[in-house]
């Protein structure tokens, strides 16, 4: 790697940055150094969406555009990419309002206006990625990371559904792709300023070597957690080793035996791969933060973080997933449940890093699988409890049971007593009730602001009962609110 400036495509040209601390956020650079104040600062933690920008990257020769939160993205992560802000849309439209902006005006979808630029950018990414128009669910997903306190969401959704009706205004993708291809020829980034270094290798071998040379460096992927350490806790995170430049770490490979997800694969891509084998992941994907957080965050980061409330881990553990750890040229594989040693403490050694997550496919063995999240809000909320259940049935009896919970212990953890109560038994309501009661021997949850210990114990058992109703009981009685369709209005009465 060589010392060089941060370089990225911005407003039709390559921008080079030197002298700013590696912990500078994209939002700070836009507002304080470029005076691009259309991008707002609201929560500074990736929840409100006022700071939304769109990042462009090359993906198999094509331009991939994704909305992300500028407030928690570090400036060096832009290296080799393209950055778009709300001011760019008027330029694209030749000085007039872009169709996205005009649709918001026509729908009266703005009052105080503080949140509006963020909504514009989230919808612009949707506009560019869905050229044939969008439906309501796509619109709601696109703005899941945007908060509006005064307008209400109905007119904003109306605008999203109407924005394709006007004559199309398109980004010159060929120009952006050419710029990104030129940037791709730059050497690996080693950026140093204010006594801190940001390393962004481009190959797996270079990354492994950098990890050996800098074992104390903070590994950063999407910075959806680490970014808050800087913006909220005002921490100096020291030197950074960035996974985002290594294409191999973003790869997802499927064989007949397993699914292997690279540590730097985005949460969106990782969940799509999981859903292809187990559609039961769909609801958790939708509820895992917001679309911009899933665009930036990675499955490897969620796993390696070691949080007891990381929503991915219970489902992965229940499916028998393992982690692939690399140190130099050597690799080892651990069952995921053995990766967690104590609260936010993992089995990673000095100089070692998480390379991939492996999930058995088991296509020849029928598996009943569900993963559920209990939180105070449907989306963008931390779990009180997250549960996952996987059963293998043979002849109506449970041949194998794997049960895992997050939020019930200091780490994501299996439930051996519950599993023992299930194994060898018929899959019926009595078995489910006994296994639910056995959970009391597996966990001693804490009281905190999200939920009491008593609530966690009760809801954990009820999640297992819900699993029974959905997979073995009176399935027609298992109705979810999100599955209900609107009822047509009754005809006028005489």
99-162: CATH class: mainly alpha
pTM of the entire predicted model: 0.92
Nearest to 73 by CA among 108, 35, 45: 45
pLDDT at 55: 98
pLDDT at 489: 53
pLDDT tens string, the chain, 494 residues long: the values are: 678 999 999 999 999 999 999 999 999 999 999 999 999 999 999 999 999 999 999 999 999 999 999 999 999 999 999 999 999 999 999 999 999 999 999 999 999 999 999 999 999 999 999 999 999 999 999 999 999 989 989 999 999 999 999 999 999 999 999 999 999 999 999 999 999 999 999 999 999 999 999 999 999 999 999 999 999 999 999 999 999 999 999 999 998 899 999 999 999 999 999 999 999 999 999 999 999 999 999 999 999 998 888 899 999 999 999 999 999 999 999 999 999 999 989 999 999 999 999 999 966 566 899 999 999 988 788 899 999 999 999 988 999 999 999 999 999 999 999 999 999 999 999 999 999 999 999 999 988 888 999 999 999 999 999 999 999 875 544 455 556 666 655 554 43
- Provide CATH code, domain 2-87+172-247: 3.10.20.30
pLDDT at 256: 86
User: What span, in angstroms and rounded, lies between the C-alpha atoms of 348 and 314?
Assistant: 19
Domain limits, the chain:
2-87+172-247, 99-162, 251-476
251-476: CATH class: alpha beta
pLDDT at 50: 97
């Amino acid at each position: 790697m060589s010392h060089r400036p941060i370089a990225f495509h911005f407003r039709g040209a390559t921008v080079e940055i030197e002298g700013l601390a590696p912990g500078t956020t994209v939002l700070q650079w836009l507002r304080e150094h470029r005076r691009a104040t259309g991008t707002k600062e609201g929560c500074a933690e990736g929840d409100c969406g006022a700071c939304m920008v769109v990042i462009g990257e090359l993906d198999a020769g094509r331009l991939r555009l994704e909305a992300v939160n500028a407030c928690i993205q570090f400036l060096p992560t832009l290296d080799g990419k393209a950055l778009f802000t709300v001011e760019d849309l008027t330029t694209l439209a030749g000085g007039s309002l872009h169709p996205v902006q005009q649709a918001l005006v026509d729908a009266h979808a703005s009052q105080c206006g503080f949140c509006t630029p963020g909504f514009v950018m989230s919808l612009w990414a949707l506009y560019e990625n869905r050229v044939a128009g969008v439906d309501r669910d796509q619109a709601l997903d696109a703005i899941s990371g945007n908060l509006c306190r005064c307008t209400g969401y109905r007119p904003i959704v109306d605008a999203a559904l109407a924005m394709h009706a006007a004559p199309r205004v398109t980004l010159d993708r060929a120009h952006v792709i050419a710029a990104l291809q030129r940037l791709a020829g730059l050497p690996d980034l080693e950026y140093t300023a204010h006594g801190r270094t940001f390393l962004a290798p481009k190959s797996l071998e270079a990354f492994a070597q950098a990890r050996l040379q800098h074992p104390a460096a903070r590994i950063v992927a999407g910075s959806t957690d680490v970014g808050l350490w800087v913006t909220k806790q005002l921490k100096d995170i020291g030197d950074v080793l960035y996974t985002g430049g290594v294409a191999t770490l973003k790869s997802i490979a499927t064989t007949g035996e397993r699914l292997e997800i690279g540590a730097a694969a985005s949460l969106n891509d990782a969940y799509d791969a999981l859903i292809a084998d187990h559609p039961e992941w769909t609801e958790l994907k939708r509820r895992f933060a917001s679309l911009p957080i899933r665009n930036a965050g990675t499955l490897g980061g969620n796993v390696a973080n070691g949080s007891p409330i990381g929503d991915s881990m219970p489902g992965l553990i229940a499916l028998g997933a393992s982690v692939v750890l690399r140190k130099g040229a050597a690799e080892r594989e651990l069952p995921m449940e053995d990766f967690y040693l104590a609260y936010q403490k993992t089995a990673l050694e000095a100089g070692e890093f998480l390379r991939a997550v492996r999930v058995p496919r088991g296509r020849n063995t029928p598996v009943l699988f569900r993963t559920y999240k209990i939180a105070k809000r449907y989306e963008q909320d931390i779990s009180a409890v997250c549960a996952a259940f996987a059963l293998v049935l043979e002849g109506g009896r449970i041949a194998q049971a794997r049960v895992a919970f997050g939020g019930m212990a200091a780490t994501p953890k299996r439930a051996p007593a519950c599993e023992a109560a299930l194994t060898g038994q018929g899959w019926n309501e009595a078995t489910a009730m006994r296994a639910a009661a056995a959970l009391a021997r597996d966990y001693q949850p804490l009281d905190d602001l999200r939920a009491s210990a008593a609530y966690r114990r009760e809801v954990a058992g009820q999640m297992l009962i819900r699993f029974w109703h959905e997979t073995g009981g009176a399935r027609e009685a298992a109705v979810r609110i999100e599955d209900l369709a609107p009822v047509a209005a009754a005809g006028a009465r005489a």
